[in-house]
Amino acid sequence: MDKDIDQINPYDDAMGRITEVAERYNIDEKDIEILKHPKKILMVNFPVHTSRGLKIISGYRVQYNDALGPTKGGLRFHPHVSITEVKALAFWMTLKNALLDLPYGGAKGGITIDPRGFTQRDLEEISREYIRQIHSFIGPAKDIPAPDVYTNPKIMGWMMDEFGKIKGEHVPAVITGKPLSIGGSQARSYSTAMGGFCVLREALAKYKINPLQTKTAIQGFGNAGMNLAKIMNSNNMIVVAVSDSKGGIYDKNGLNIKSVINHKNETGSVVNFTGAKNITNNDILELNVDIVVPAALENVITQKNVQNINAKIILELANGPITRKADKMLYEKKIIVLPDILANAGGVTVSYFEWMQNLYGARWTEEEILKKLDNRMKNAFDELYDNYVSESYVDFRTAAYAYAIKKIIQAEKDRGRI
């Protein structure tokens, strides 16, 4: 009997997907085996004196595969961080970097804390101690962390500074997503959202959907979701609903995004925004809209709610928001899913640009970076659509997995590993 959907962890789900893709494209089972095992896993537990007393903090870093280059991936602070989740995220990063033709393998990290329960001073000490614990595991030619859920440029700056203290030299390329003053890149703060918008724009054009006649609902009003709402708003697209961890709001005529942001800054949430109806985070996915954007956490669209999804397009800004079985049902419903490893790859792409600037001591303008980002996202979309989706009649996720897996396996073979 099938395992209940709630019991399926994201790593199991990811491994199930690559098995299906390998079977469809006749990829040798022996070759695919190397992608079913992370190369290196580091787990650390360390004491930190905080404003709440002595705490033992658990942290993780997974370097999943390095066939294409040094590993690269974000670092999140979240109370539900686990090794299983981090392994899945590192696997997705491996595929994402291959898909965007970046010279990286995939990695991910996490610290199991709720940052909202700690002071800034606490978070700085936790961040620095984490780097002290893992410093020999990372480096500009080894593994390059970046921001993720509940981490930000300030935290990346502390980490880069601590790494430099340990090594006794300035090493800006060890961390990306830093503040501009210490080697960060223009456009990095909204790059995930901009990359997603580029992919969405290409999809709308390919499927002959007028963007000005669409309505969008965004689940998750953090960095990615908020910035996407701002970008869509500035391009005269209508955003009718947004949500955060406390709930959501809906206005069928469209939200004034600037006012919603001000309201969230003043109250701590989008909930109770004047003129809008309060809704739940589940409700927002099931609205009668053209575009749904999961921009929060994984596994929000499952067998339990997939039949209630009404959108024409789902743009995955979150990692792993749709389970494997729900994915198949969406395909049967002819709903276009723009998968996470394509749709949210703008962040790692601009992180790559930051890394390059750090290595060469260069400074690129915002205009230069946005042009490079647009080209990368467009090329990745076209590659999948032209060579897989339109030819083989598969969904975008299957196409993305196939392209990335083949590329990684070829690199493994060229290295003589398999």
Question: Active-site residue numbers?
Answer: 108
Measured CA to CA, the distance from residue 172 to residue 164 in angstroms comes to: 8
Among residues 153, 140, 41, 150, which one has the least CA distance to residue 86? Answer: 41
Task: Measure CA of the first residue to CA of the last residue in the chain; give whole Å.
Answer: 35
CB 369 within 8 A of CB 353: yes
* C-alpha separations of 396 from 269, 343, 416 in Å: 33, 10, 30
Report the sign of the C-alpha dihedral through residues 43, 48, 50, 52, in that order: positive
What are the b/e assignments for 272-299, b being 16+ CB within 10 Å? ebeebeebebebbbbbebbbbbbbbbbb
Q: Do strands 291-294 and 336-338 pair parallel, antiparallel, or not at all (unpaired)?
A: unpaired
What phi-psi label fits residue 368: left (phi over 0), alpha (psi between -120 and 50 degrees) or beta? Answer: alpha
DSSP tag of 300: -
327-328-333 Cα angle (round to 5): 95
CB distance 261 to 242 below 8 Å = no
Query: In sequence order, what are the residues at sequence separation of 6 or more whose Cβ sits closer than 8 angstroms to the Cβ of residue 253?
Result: 240
| Coil vs helix vs strand at 241 | strand
**Spatial distance between the Cα atoms of 175 and 153, rounded to a whole number of angstroms:** 10
How does DSSP classify residue 388? I
415 phi and psi angles, rounded to 5 deg: -80, -10
Crossing angle, helix 83-99 and helix 346-360, to 10 degrees? Answer: 70
